[in-house]
Amino acid sequence: MGTYSLICHPDTPPLGVKAVHVTWAQGEEDLLLRWHVEGAERLVIPALVDQPAPTDGLWKTSCFELFLDDAHGYREFNFSPSGHWASYGFDGYRSGMKALPLGAPQMDVVAGEEFALTVTLPADLVQGASHASLTAVIEEEGGHKSYWALAHASGQPDFHAPSCFILPLGAAQQP
């Protein structure tokens, strides 16, 4: 689909991060998402784990996220550079949260002056969705966090706000 530039929430400026871009490439079987962080020298990267597993609270440090709307509400997917992930379904805005099953996604990390997290997921994950939101929580040294998204709602950073779901996915297919 392309590469998209995320916007930093104006109330949470980064220390050294200059830009965050996300590449979306969807084939018949796989969906590849690649978050690329420019100016990542101060980025806090959770340590890689031996046994990645679904884990809550990933957004408390550097975390990369995909949100998909659907006829029943929306879905949230969190990916940590540690290898952990999380997936949730919501009936409405921040309501009716439930864990969604998601097999271990393939994740690859490149860290240095620039950082990249590439996540490979099943392409049918987007089935039924008409819009997406791509986001990132970036933690830098000293616990400093900035919040990045395609669009932000007014007020505090809130990736769940319907106004953040601005990436059209074309004709949504019913599951």
In this predicted structure, the answer to whether residue 51 has a pLDDT above a threshold of 60 is: yes
Residue 85, pLDDT score: 97
- Mean pLDDT of the region 2-14: 97
In this predicted structure, the answer to whether residue 54 has a pLDDT above a threshold of 60 is: yes
In this predicted structure, the answer to whether residue 171 has a pLDDT above a threshold of 70 is: no
- Mean pLDDT of the region 84-109: 94
Residue of 60, 83, 85, 64 lying closest to 143 (CA atoms): 60
Residue 175, pLDDT score: 34
What is the Rg, in whole angstroms, of the alpha carbon atoms belonging to the chain? Answer: 15
Residue 67, pLDDT score: 98
Residue 77 CB partners (closer than 8 Å, separation 6+): 65, 66, 67, 68, 85, 86, 87, 102, 121, 125
- Mean pLDDT of the region 33-59: 94
Q: How confident is the model at residue 2 (pLDDT cuts 50, 70, 90)?
A: very high
Residue 37, pLDDT score: 97
- Map tokens 């049918």 to a residue: 124
In this predicted structure, the answer to whether residue 92 has a pLDDT above a threshold of 50 is: yes
For the chain, what is the mean pLDDT?
A: 93
Q: Does residue 162 sit in helix, strand or coil?
A: helix
Residue 72, pLDDT score: 87
Distance CA 63, CA 174 (A): 29
Residue 112, pLDDT score: 81
Residue 173, pLDDT score: 40
- Mean pLDDT of the region 22-32: 94
Return the sign of the alpha-carbon dihedral for residues 56, 128, 104, 146: negative
Residue 172, pLDDT score: 43
Q: What residues are paired with 44 via a beta bridge?
A: none
Q: How confident is the model at residue 71 (pLDDT cuts 50, 70, 90)?
A: confident
Strands (E), the chain: 2-5, 7-8, 19-26, 30-38, 63-70, 73-79, 85-90, 98-99, 106-110, 114-122, 131-140, 144-149, 167-168
In this predicted structure, the answer to whether residue 135 has a pLDDT above a threshold of 70 is: yes
